[in-house]
Structure 1
Amino acid sequence: MSKNLFRTAVVAAAVVAVFGAAPALADEVAYNVGVTNNYVFRGLTQTDKDFAVQGGVDFSTDSGFYAGAWASNVDFGDGTDAEVDLYGGYKTEAGGFAFDFGVVAYTYVGAPAGVSYDNVELKAAASRAFGPATIGGAVYYSPDSWGVDNESVYWELNGAYTVSDKISLSGAVGRQTFDPGSDYTTWNVGGTYALTDKLGLDLRYHDTNLAGYDDAFVVSLKAAF
């Protein structure tokens, strides 16, 4: 295991240990661990097209409130080792729609001096199920995005279709905007196969309309328990 992957595994384990130490705050606690050949976020690789080890913990309450933490190794070519996300919010249902309002804090371990990738996004999402299909949309807003003084908004339309108990298909198209800055469109499509009731294999294709950026075929294995 490389030094960055080892550090991230330690960070992920620490996240699970620290947050998992307070299960009394939630009605339900869930954990996840995974590995992928390429960590892609909104169409762009976060690991220089290399492997990532990831893990997180989620707390939820019967009243609809939730919180969690998630970690992954990253490689921006400047020594930054890991991404650690902290998030929370509220989920509810009305008129046949599911709603999700929350906040996400992205923090980074090992960033070089004078560089701050840390930022916060506000999230609003809605979805509706039509039999085996689900269609949804989301918007994320940040007043200070990715370490620069740029407002950013990310819009996404997504959908999923349950083929069987073991197979589901899904995809999304999104638009990332910066003010000021360059905007771009991203999309992905793929499918998940349930190897067991706790282990899933996801195959996904990602691309953007950015010149000079490669598309990506991503294979991920994730366990949830």
Structure 2
Amino acid sequence: MFKPFCLLLVGLLACPGAFAQIFQRELGDFDLKLGTSPSRSMAQGLVKPSAVGAFHGGLDLSHDSGLYFGQWSPSVGLTPGKDLEVDSYLGFKQPFDQTLGYEIGTIRYSYPRVETPDSQELFGGLTLLGSRFGLAFSDDPDKRNNTLFADFGGNQPFGIGISISISMKYTRHRLNTPVSVDGGYVSAFSDWSLKFSRPFMGIDLNLIYSNSSLGGSDCSAYSGHNSQCDGLVTLKAERAFY
């Protein structure tokens, strides 16, 4: 009964009039959140639900003990070319004090209306003195991924007096079926990214450098997290209106 109930809520929330809002109320010892924008990230920031369609939404339930679970649908499959996806997660997050905490959990990615196999991800995270560290192990239909993440929070590098958040992500991908390229096969590759962020007049400014271990003709086998295989520098500005 839980899964159809969640899908119904996703359908109700995923409408253009929702304007990326989050609705919250208490249910006994649980805190319930419904919305068209993700209400949490996992592994201390490594696993972040995203939206891939115009219609998306989900729910999140958390307990005072630190237990949480929920479902998020980045696409409910109402627009052409977008399939229904349901991400179900379960985790436990607990701070020891204000400077130390941990998190463990799992998330399952399902595609009820297509024959794409489900995938599973295990994750863990640690918060230490304002910095966050995370790791995740995922088993996708076409490859296995091991990811490490670090976010050093607000720092003032070089004594310039400007607070800058620095985060890094490194992933090792191992393909289930090697991909043929010029001169051989690619069975595994790595990619990484380095991001510098700071707020400015209500706008989040991000400078991102990304790259991978592949290059040249081998890039035809690339299927990692970055937008492209070769080195790329991106300047991005974001502002939340809701």
Q: TM-score range by the shorter chain?
A: 0.5 to 0.7
Quote how far apart the aligned CAs of 1:162 are.
Answer: 8.9
Moved more, 213-222 or 80-89: 213-222
Aligned residue in 2 for 1:221: 240
Aligned residue identity for 1:151: R
Q: Percent identity?
A: 20
1:136 aligns with 2:132: yes
Aligned residue in 2 for 1:156: 149
1:61 aligns with 2:39: no
Task: Work out the CA distance in 2 between the residues paired with 1:82 and 1:193.
Answer: 36
Aligned residue identity for 2:171: Q
Aligned residue in 2 for 1:27: 30
Q: What does 1:88-167 correspond to in 2, within 5 Å?
A: 88-94=90-96, 96-108=99-111, 113=115, 115-116=116-117, 118-129=118-129, 134-142=130-138, 144-145=139-140, 147-148=141-142, 150-161=143-154
Where do 5+ consecutive residues of structure 2 fail to align? 1-9, 39-45, 157-162, 176-187, 220-227
Higher strand share: 1
Q: Deviations over 1:61-96 (max 9, x none)?
A: 111111122232499xx9344543221211123374
> How many residues are treated as equivalent by the alignment?
181
Task: Work out the CA distance in 1 between the residues paired with 2:200 and 2:128.
Answer: 22
Match of 1:84 among 80, 83, 86: 86
Task: Work out the CA distance in 2 between the residues paired with 1:191 and 1:202.
Answer: 6
Aligned residue identity for 2:136: Y
For the aligned residue pairs, the C-alpha RMSD in angstroms reads 4.4
Q: Which has the higher contact order (CA 8 A, sep 6+)?
A: 1
